[in-house]
Amino acid sequence: MSSYLPCGTYHESYRDEQKWWRTPFIKGKMIVMVILLLALPYLVSGEWVSVAYTINYYILAALGVQLLIGYCGQITLGHAAFVAVGAYCSSMMILFIPWPQFILDWGLAYPISMVCAGILAGLWSVLFGLPSARVKGFYLIMTTMAAQWITVPLVITQYVSQIGGRGHYFSLPPGTIKLGPWVIDSDEKIYYFSLVLVAICLLAMGNMVRAKIGRAWVAIRDNDIAAETIGVNIVLYKLLAFFVAGFFAGIAGSFYITALSFVSPEHYEWFYSLLWVGIILIGGVGSIQGLVFGSAFVVLVFKLLEMGVLGLSGILMESYPELGFITTKIIFFKESAFGLAIMFFLIYEPNGLAYRYWQLKNYFNLWPFSYTGKGA
């Protein structure tokens, strides 16, 4: 024969096809990845550990956006509001609830507040997801934007932040956030905690999208009229998608207070809602791997740009003080680069980084017997 045939591992059952780790090679890759992730704090400096848990925070925050847009076809531009609800709920429960002494001794106040934060954020998300039963597209975008403007500038800034006479933010004293006997008070502990949360949430998300509920979401995304025709309760599943997305957002907000040690409305501005939508556009819409790739790409690019801009500003100020006004201008280049990155991916790689990874993986899986397209 003058042509090569495709090679690779083929599965004869749906169960084998849907396994998380389908071959020994994939299991080996996952073991190596887990070892590297666990060893990361010992391999890099503390500054990069904070970058690592910021990536994990973005994964948690954008997970609900990926669910709504990528799997259920419900566009959202107000997801930062639900992250804020989770952060404030968890902070207020820790600060203001008179917990029994045994709960404080066992370090259960923060875990309980995290679960409650997820539930409250999920219910708040459902409230603004109710119009999805009647509207979609542009009108749904306006509804989710309303969630942002109503929640953060109005409810949180004007009312919730004033509780206790603490001004506009809540400060969490050192040692307040405990997980059992484990006090989360260092970058390394925050990183490992974020790693566990990301693993749990990604596994939960992956199992949901492969189950009946996930197939219903995909059917609604592809054609909601056809989905309703075959018996899918589109209102129920849309609201369920909003609840689960809000729950993930609440978990993300509750987690991030461990890194900030305080919570303030400035951390949940509308820019972050756009940022998390941009993450799934860059990583790949409708892909869990794309969510991870997009979060890592955005955080690392922002960090590298920050280092470059600060370095350039320092050189200019030291060598040419009269050009100091330029340094105030180039600082904004970081945000501009994010918009340019989205434009680049939409034009040249509309399927995102996950699709490029899929192509690369298939190339090595089929090499050297890849299909040439020639006849026998």
Give all domains of the chain, ordered by start, each with its CATH number: 47-366 (1.10.3470)
Select from 243, 225, 242 the least CA-distant residue to 234. Answer: 225
What does the pLDDT read at residue 10? Answer: 65
Residue 316 is predicted with a pLDDT of 62
Contact 303, 334 (CB under 8 A): no
The C-alpha atoms of residue 275 and residue 257 are separated, in whole angstroms, by 19
Q: Measure CA 248 to chain center.
A: 9
Q: If you count them, how many residues does the chain have?
A: 376
Give me the pLDDT at residue 334, please: 65
SS3 of the chain: the string is CCCCCCCCCCCCCHHHHCCCCCCHHHHHHHHHHHHHHHHHHHHCCHHHHHHHHHHHHHHHHHHHHHHHHHHCCCCCCCHHHHHHHHHHHHHHHHHHCCCCHHHHHCCCHHHHHHHHHHHHHHHHHHHHHHHHHCCCCHHHHHHHHHHHHHHHHHHHHHHHHHHHHCCCCEECCCCCCEECCEECCCHHHHHHHHHHHHHHHHHHHHHHHHCHHHHHHHHHHHCHHHHHHCCCCHHHHHHHHHHHHHHHHHHHHHHHHHHHCEECHHHHCHHHHHHHHHHHHHHCCCCHHHHHHHHHHHHHHHHHHHHHHHHHHHHHHHHCHHHHHHHHHHCCHHHHHHHHHHHHHHHHCCCHHHHHHHHHHHHHHHCCCCCCCCCC
Question: What are the phi and psi torsion angles at 177 (to 5°)?
Answer: -90, 110
Q: What is the pLDDT of residue 176?
A: 82
Backbone phi and psi for residue 5, each to the nearest 5 degrees, phi listed first? -100, 155
Residue by residue, pLDDT tens for the chain (376 residues) are 444 444 555 667 777 777 777 777 778 888 999 999 999 999 987 789 999 999 999 999 999 999 999 999 998 999 999 999 999 999 989 888 888 888 888 888 999 999 999 999 999 999 999 988 788 877 888 888 999 999 998 888 888 877 765 555 677 887 788 888 888 888 899 999 999 999 999 999 999 998 899 999 999 999 989 999 999 999 999 999 999 999 999 999 999 999 887 888 888 998 899 999 999 999 999 899 999 999 999 999 888 877 776 666 666 666 666 655 555 566 666 667 777 877 888 888 888 888 888 888 777 766 665 554 444 4
Q: Residue 64 has what pLDDT?
A: 94
Contacts for 290 with CB less than 8 Å, ≥ 6 apart:
66, 70, 280, 283, 284, 352, 353, 354, 355
Residue for token pair 């780790």:
21
Q: What is the pLDDT of residue 308?
A: 72
Distance between CA atoms of residues 278 and 302, nearest Å: 13
